[in-house]
Amino acid sequence: MPTKVRVAVIGAGFIAHYHVKGLLEQENVEITAICDTAIEKAQEFAKIYNIKQVYEKHSDLIRENACDAVILCLPNALHVPIASDFVRAGKDVFIEKPLGINTEEGEQLKETMMENNRLVMIGHMWRFDEQTRFVRAAIAAGEIGEVLKTKGCGIHVDWGPQGWFTQKKLAGGGALADMGVHAIDTVRFLLGDPQPVSVYGVLKTCFGKYDVDDMGMLMISWENGTVSLIESGWWHPHADGPEASTQLIGTKGYARLYPTSVETPLEGLAGREVKRLSPKDEHCDQPMYSRQMAHFVACIRERKTPNPGIEEGLVVQRIVDTAYRSAESGEVVYL
């Protein structure tokens, strides 16, 4: 691998700007190309960031060997097919969350990745947030004891997306696949990445005319005994907290992410010791995405497995798939 890492971006939508800004902060990284089937959109994107090469088809980018790695910012249904093309061409791949539209295709990508000795990272970016890591460290240190139950949410209040996000064929699901995945991966990270044992899901379409869900309630049982309640939604009139907000009840105390605090009873005294972090100026801030890109670039250089990688992405995808099956059957589904 040359000293300079050449990265191309596939998809010139909203989220691509965060990733490109993060890449621009990294040393010896060159953004060589932008690719989008909406060529005029790609050209405008290229002007903003002074990207020299613009492609309409990712196959042309592959043929011209214009990169060492790619950032995929595409509709969910395109994640695995296009990632597989780049992996087979010898490129490392970053996939904006979620991994894809079902577990089966994710397993296929894993096999292709291993056959070609490539790296795949999934964009569950809350793992790179400093407040998330503060809470995880407190839990790992046993400050709140054994975590008994959690509650997290991924909800848009008074608004929801349009376009491919609301089309099952392209998105694979609705608010659960879009927003719920943040709450699922965040709580799993906070708990130390346990495996899920069972999922019970209720998913409905209540706020719009589309073929995907915009209201969800999940109960996940983990192998460590913790039970997690996850709420997902679009257009809701209320949410308990912003995206990825999580509450955790332990045998010795309480922790919360956004607003972030860790509370433990004072030994032998009334009251609690509270460690509280200041609210973030911007919830989905650029530094989180920049640290994510720094990790991806470091993994490329050092040839180490990213975290979150294909395995972490598969766990979230498996939970989402299982939730849809549970909602259809009305029963708890064991993994």
Q: What is the reported pLDDT for 271?
A: 78
Q: What is the reported pLDDT for 2?
A: 54
Domains and CATH numbers, the chain: 5-125+287-307 (3.40.50.720), 127-280+317-334 (3.30.360.10)
Whether 1 has a pLDDT exceeding 90, the answer reads: no
Task: Tokens 């879009």: give the residue.
Answer: 178
Whether 331 has a pLDDT exceeding 90, the answer reads: yes
Q: Compute the distance between CA of residue 51 and CA of residue 45 in angstroms, rounded to an integer.
A: 8
Please tell me whether residue 162 adopts helix, strand or coil conformation.
coil
- Please name every residue paired with 236 in a beta bridge, in sequence order, or none if there are none: 157
Q: What is the mean pLDDT of residues 309-313?
A: 98
Whether 286 has a pLDDT exceeding 70, the answer reads: yes
pLDDT in tens, 44-68: 999 999 999 999 999 999 999 989 9
pLDDT in tens, 19-46: 999 999 999 999 999 999 999 999 999 9
Predicted TM-score (pTM) of the model is 0.96
Q: Compute the distance between CA of residue 70 and CA of residue 314 in angstroms, rounded to an integer.
A: 20
Cis-peptide, bond into residue 194, ω within 30° of zero: no
Mean pLDDT in the chain?
97
Q: Compute the distance between CA of residue 93 and CA of residue 8 in angstroms, rounded to an integer.
A: 10
Q: What is the reported pLDDT for 272?
A: 83
More confident residue, 268 or 6: 6
pLDDT-derived band at 316, boundaries 50, 70, 90: very high
> Kind and range of the H or E element at 55?
strand 53-55
pLDDT in tens, 297-306: 999 999 999 9
pLDDT in tens, 95-151: 999 999 999 999 999 999 999 999 999 999 999 999 999 999 999 999 999 999 999
Cβ(283)–Cβ(243) below 8 Å: yes
Would you mind telling me the total number of residues written for the chain in this entry? 335
Q: What is the reported pLDDT for 106?
A: 98
Q: What is the reported pLDDT for 270?
A: 73
Rounded percentage of the chain residues whose pLDDT exceeds 70: 99
- Tokens linked to 72: 């995929």
First to last CA, the chain: 39
Cβ(51)–Cβ(32) below 8 Å: yes
Q: Compute the distance between CA of residue 199 and CA of residue 333 in angstroms, rounded to an integer.
A: 5
Task: Tokens 């998105």: give the residue.
Answer: 171
Cβ(118)–Cβ(307) below 8 Å: no
pLDDT-derived band at 3, boundaries 50, 70, 90: confident
Cis-peptide, bond into residue 259, ω within 30° of zero: yes
Q: What is the mean pLDDT of residues 176-196?
A: 98
pLDDT in tens, 235-252: 999 999 999 999 999 999
Q: Compute the distance between CA of residue 322 and CA of residue 102 in angstroms, rounded to an integer.
A: 10
* Residue 239 CA, distance from chain mean position: 20
Q: What is the reported pLDDT for 40?
A: 97
Phi-psi region of 279 (alpha: psi -120 to 50; beta: other; left: phi over 0): beta
How is residue 37 annotated by DSSP? S
For the packed helices 310-329 and 103-115, what is the interaxial angle rounded to 10 degrees? Answer: 160
